[in-house]
Amino acid sequence: MPAKAAFYDVDGTLVKTNVVHVYAYYAMNRGSLLGIAGRTLATAASAPLFAAMDAVNRKKFNEFFYRYYAGLSEDRLISVAEDMFEDVLKPALYEQTRDLIDQARRAGCRIVLVTGALDFSMRPLVRHLGADDLIANKMQFVGGKATGKVIPPIIEGANKANAIRSYCVREGLALDQCHGYSDSASDYAMLAVVGRPTAVNPDMRLRSIARAYNWPILDLK
Amino acid sequence: MRPLKTLQKLYDEESQVVITEKGSPPRALFSGENFLLEDLPVGTRVIFPRPPLAGVPNVKAAIRWAINHPEGMEPLHALLRPGMRLTCVIDDISVPLPPMATPDVRQSILEVVLELCADSGVDDIHLIIANALHRRMTEGEMRRMVGQKIFDAYYPERYYNHDAEDPDGITELERSPCGSHVVAVNRRVAESDLTVYVNVNFVPMNGGHKSMGTGLANYASLRAHHNPQTIRGSDSYMEPKKSELYRRNERIGKAIDKHLKVFHIESVLNNRMFGPATDFLHKREEDYTEGDRLKFHAMRYALSKVPRAAARTILNSVPAPYDVTGVFAGATEPTHQKILEKSWQQYVVPVQGQSDIVIFPIPFISPYSVNSILNPLLVQVMGLGYFFNLNRGVPLVKKGGVIILTHPAFDEFDPVQHPSYIEFFNRVLPETRDAVEIEKKYEREFAENPSYVHLYRKGNAYHGVHPLYMWYWGENGRQHAGKVIVAGAENNHVPALLGWDRTDTLTEAIEEARGFMGRSASISLLRIAPTVMVDVK
């Protein structure tokens, strides 16, 4: 049997959060009291803007959003990632996430998380789930400080599909045997590129796409 | 002296076989969620079900008698010890069809058994539904099956569905070095001091060694007999002596009996499928009263006017008033033997010779579509799997003959219960219909697909591999028949994907079949439902 992998989107698919929650956590854990208050307020105020941008264009949203990380030190980001995982991601994991991943592993799949979040913030989750690999955005650091720019290509939309395709070529995996899981219609390309797509807690658009293409629909609790 | 023809008619009234004459009434035939009313060619042999046998007068008394006078084992009360670990295993909703009017015989058996357990100081009791790779039963279905009182006492901690994919929930009792022969059962059952199997026997292929060997197994274990080779080796699923499937199940069952103590309680039902409103369906059309005809036409008209989903809901909501005709208990084989005798007594109709053309009317329900949709694969399994096998080793249709099915063959699937069926139908069948190739190329992929495994374990979906099993199940009919025609199919692509011809009407289908088999071809109609089986001499 050819080697295969299961590719999982993270936000909304395996955990009930999104990148905004993650950033909000960073904002609240920013050094000084004033900094915390400032960034928390700014994030809260921007929430409707984020939502609107995300709905219209995920790419623009990501580019815009990651600017908020500018100036934060790399060490600090990595260490806060551990706390952020314990406080934000771990409690937000769907109860059935672990089963889903164990099932894929038993079926002989390599487990790969594919996310638009930043790699350092996802590392603890990768460790926790025992995933084999992570395809995520990488922040640019200059002199140990985040520049607020993401090293291109930004992992989102069609780029997720490209990243998965390149990953399969690199690792010698049969793309048509691979599984893909996502909750959002913005990941249509990622789901369409693998041979075995599945919609997980899908939004309305993805649900209708999944129905049209007869993809299985999972509702994780 | 009476003319011969009149005498013949009097004689025929005793028989379940009617030869269509010039003045014979049209036949009422199931066709999915509706009925056809069809005049058949003169000379067509119509085989009707036997009238329902009388039920036992007191079901609970029959259950008590059976467990106190078991076959080849001590009475149940003698097997019970205070503090022991006991598991009751129950057949799932796939039998009987349609579901039984409450109280279900499983409830009656459990009420007797659980009361006896309480009197004997047995408290550690679990109730497990032997659903194998079938869908999990819903909470409502589980409540209905055992009654409110038992449900409240046991659900959900101690009354649940078997999970064939729970890595911690399965124990392997035996495994051959190459892994081709695996005997695996539910872990709770393996660790119990005593298992009581609560069975309801609908057709002769239920019960016996199949109950434990299939109902509580996992994919690795089922692979040994749910495969095209076993199906091809079975002349009938219903006749144990002619069934390779039965023999393989027997091997597994014997291994289970070697390791575990199992007390079987098997019950058998008559074929009273229809209540007062539709009991005319039990009758031959010759015997319909004016009232029966009126009810039939009213029902047919109403079903044709409501949307199909509504017709389905109406039909699914009418339970069947079966009577229990026997209860037997004890060791697997002697108990099942008694049940088989009762079952044949109800179902079998002797007929002379095979036919060139056989008509099977396909109803709205199958063992795998209770409260769901009879999708195209299930139409296939009803026609070529089950109805083709309703015999004692000699099929009703000649080798190379024509099978005609009456069904709309709509392209509808239930994504909740049958998600992997959708993929199988749209992806695998366009590529090949060869069961052996399908097994080789696709079985593991479907069986191990994590999404399907998840939907089986956490939702109410059939296991990913189930549509392949359904395809294998039709292998006997597919290998035997020269042509399959689906009469009344509302589209072209479903019959084409299944490898069948289609016609708009049954008359056209018969014409096409005669064109294939010759003008003098003999025709039989198995006027099902209720259930009927043939013994071809």
> Residue by residue, what is the 3-state secondary structure of B223-256?
CCCCCHHHHHCCCCCCCHHHCHHHHHHHHHHHHH
Residue A106 and residue A87 in contact, taking contact as beta carbons nearer than 8 Å:
no
Cα separation, B296 vs B285, whole angstroms:
11
Do B399 and B454 belong together in one domain?
Answer: yes
Mark yes or no for CB contact B452/A216 under 8 Å: yes
Cα separation, A12 vs A97, whole angstroms:
11
pLDDT of residue A69: 80
Do B112 and B25 belong together in one domain?
Answer: no
Q: Which of B184, B220, B206 is nearest to B264 (CA)?
A: B206
Cα separation, A134 vs A112, whole angstroms:
6
Mark yes or no for CB contact B449/A108 under 8 Å: no
Give SS3 for B77: helix
Q: Can you give the pLDDT of all 537 residues of chain B as single tens digits?
A: 555 555 555 555 558 999 999 999 999 999 999 999 999 999 999 999 999 999 999 999 999 999 999 999 999 999 999 999 999 999 999 999 999 999 999 999 999 999 999 999 999 999 999 999 999 999 999 999 999 999 999 999 999 999 999 999 999 999 988 877 899 999 999 999 999 999 999 999 999 999 999 999 999 999 999 999 999 999 999 999 999 999 999 999 999 999 999 999 999 999 999 999 899 999 999 999 999 999 999 999 999 999 999 999 999 999 999 999 999 999 999 999 999 999 999 999 999 999 999 999 999 999 999 999 999 999 999 999 999 999 999 999 999 999 999 999 999 999 999 999 999 999 999 999 999 999 999 999 999 999 999 999 999 999 999 999 999 999 999 999 999 999 999 999 999 999 999 999 999 999 999 999 999 999 999 999 899 999 999
pTM of the model: 0.91
Considering only CB atoms, A6 lies closest to which of B423, B450, B459, namely B450
Helix/strand/coil percent split, chain B, to 5: 40, 20, 40
Considering only CB atoms, B454 lies closest to which of A100, A109, A211, namely A100
Mark yes or no for CB contact B448/A108 under 8 Å: yes
Which amino acid is located at B483 in the chain? K
B505 touches chain A (CB under 8 A): no
3-state secondary structure B270-329: CCCCCCHHHHHHHCCHHHCCHHHHHHHHHHHHHHHHCCHHHHHHHHHCCCECCCEEEEEE
Q: Which tops the pLDDT comparison, A65 or B476?
A: B476
Q: Is pLDDT above 50 for A33? A: no
Within 8 A of A198 by CB-CB distance, chain B residues are 451
Shortest distance, CA A214 to any CA of chain B (angstroms): 7
Cα separation, B215 vs B398, whole angstroms:
33
CATH number of domain containing B531: 3.90.226.30
Q: Directed axis angle between helix B450-458 and helix B435-448, to 10°? A: 70
Kind and range of the H or E run holding A7: strand A4-8
For residue B410, count other CB atoms closer than 10 A to its CB.
18
Q: How many separate domains does chain B show?
A: 2
Residue B383 and residue B331 in contact, taking contact as beta carbons nearer than 8 Å:
no
Shortest distance, CA A108 to any CA of chain B (angstroms): 9
- Would B28 be classed as within a structural domain? yes
Residue B308: Cβ-neighbour burial (10 angstroms; 0-12, 13-18, 19+): middle
- Would B249 be classed as within a structural domain? no
A207 touches chain B (CB under 8 A): no
Mark yes or no for CB contact B423/A99 under 8 Å: no
Mark yes or no for CB contact A99/B167 under 8 Å: no
Cα separation, A219 vs A202, whole angstroms:
8
Shortest distance, CA B443 to any CA of chain A (angstroms): 12
Q: What is the ipTM of this complex?
A: 0.81
Residue B150 and residue B159 in contact, taking contact as beta carbons nearer than 8 Å:
yes
Q: Is pLDDT above 80 for A2? A: no
- Would B279 be classed as within a structural domain? no
My answer on whether omega of the bond before B70 falls inside 30° of 0, hence cis, is no
CATH number of domain containing B164: 3.40.50.11440
pLDDT of residue B5: 57
Do B383 and B450 belong together in one domain?
Answer: yes
Do B211 and B103 belong together in one domain?
Answer: yes
Do B522 and B454 belong together in one domain?
Answer: yes
Do B164 and B264 belong together in one domain?
Answer: yes
Question: From the candidates B219, B443, B451, B452, which should be mutated to test the interface with A, based on the most A CB atoms within 10 A?
Answer: B451
- Would B1 be classed as within a structural domain? no
Q: Which of A58, A76, A188 is nearest to A139 (CA)?
A: A76
Do B362 and B234 belong together in one domain?
Answer: no
Intra-chain end-to-end CA distance of chain B, in Å: 32
Provide CB contacts within 8 A for B138, sequence distance 6+. B460
Within 8 A of B419 by CB-CB distance, chain A residues are 216-217
Residue B280: Cβ-neighbour burial (10 angstroms; 0-12, 13-18, 19+): buried
B174 touches chain A (CB under 8 A): no
Within 8 A of A6 by CB-CB distance, chain B residues are 450
**pLDDT band, residue A20 (cuts 50/70/90):** low
Considering only CB atoms, B454 lies closest to which of A1, A109, A218, namely A218
Do B170 and B40 belong together in one domain?
Answer: no
Cα separation, B511 vs B509, whole angstroms:
5
**Interval A130-159 mean pLDDT:** 90
In chain B, the residue whose alpha carbon lies closest to the alpha carbon of A109 is B450
- Would B400 be classed as within a structural domain? yes
| DSSP code for A16 | S
Shortest distance, CA B422 to any CA of chain A (angstroms): 7
Tokens of B79: 């097997």
Domain holding B230, by residue range, is 82-242+256-269
Kind and range of the H or E run holding B353: none
**Interval A81-109 mean pLDDT:** 93
A103 touches chain B (CB under 8 A): yes
pLDDT of residue A150: 87
C-alpha Rg value of chain A to the nearest Å: 17
Shortest distance, CA A155 to any CA of chain B (angstroms): 24
Mark yes or no for CB contact A214/B449 under 8 Å: no
Cα separation, B68 vs A144, whole angstroms:
82
Within 8 A of A199 by CB-CB distance, chain B residues are none
- Would B63 be classed as within a structural domain? no
- Would B323 be classed as within a structural domain? no
Do B463 and B532 belong together in one domain?
Answer: yes
| Count of pairs with CB atoms under 8 A, one residue in A, one in B | 53
Do B164 and B260 belong together in one domain?
Answer: yes
Considering only CB atoms, B423 lies closest to which of A108, A177, A214, namely A214
B454 touches chain A (CB under 8 A): yes
Domain stops at, among B212, B234, B269: B269
Within 8 A of B454 by CB-CB distance, chain A residues are 96, 99-100, 103, 218
Residue A143 and residue A70 in contact, taking contact as beta carbons nearer than 8 Å:
no
Residue B70 and residue B76 in contact, taking contact as beta carbons nearer than 8 Å:
yes
My answer on whether omega of the bond before B156 falls inside 30° of 0, hence cis, is yes
A211 touches chain B (CB under 8 A): yes
Which amino acid is located at B397 in the chain? V
Residue B493 and residue B351 in contact, taking contact as beta carbons nearer than 8 Å:
no
Cα separation, A187 vs A199, whole angstroms:
10
Q: CA angle at residue B250 from B247 to B253, to 5 degrees?
A: 160
Cα separation, A69 vs A65, whole angstroms:
8
Domain stops at, among B199, B234, B269: B269
> Residue A8: beta bridge partners?
A113, A181
Within 8 A of B450 by CB-CB distance, chain A residues are 6, 100, 103-104, 106-107, 109, 179
Do B405 and B508 belong together in one domain?
Answer: yes
- Would B66 be classed as within a structural domain? no
Q: Is the dihedral of CA B421, B426, B427, B433 positive or negative?
A: positive
Do B260 and B115 belong together in one domain?
Answer: yes
B165 touches chain A (CB under 8 A): yes
Q: Which of B281, B396, B385, B285 is nearest to B348 (CA)?
A: B396
CA distances from B4 to A120, A124, A158, B1, B235 (A): 95, 91, 82, 9, 39
Considering only CB atoms, A218 lies closest to which of B167, B448, B455, namely B455
B449 touches chain A (CB under 8 A): yes
Mark yes or no for CB contact B451/A198 under 8 Å: yes
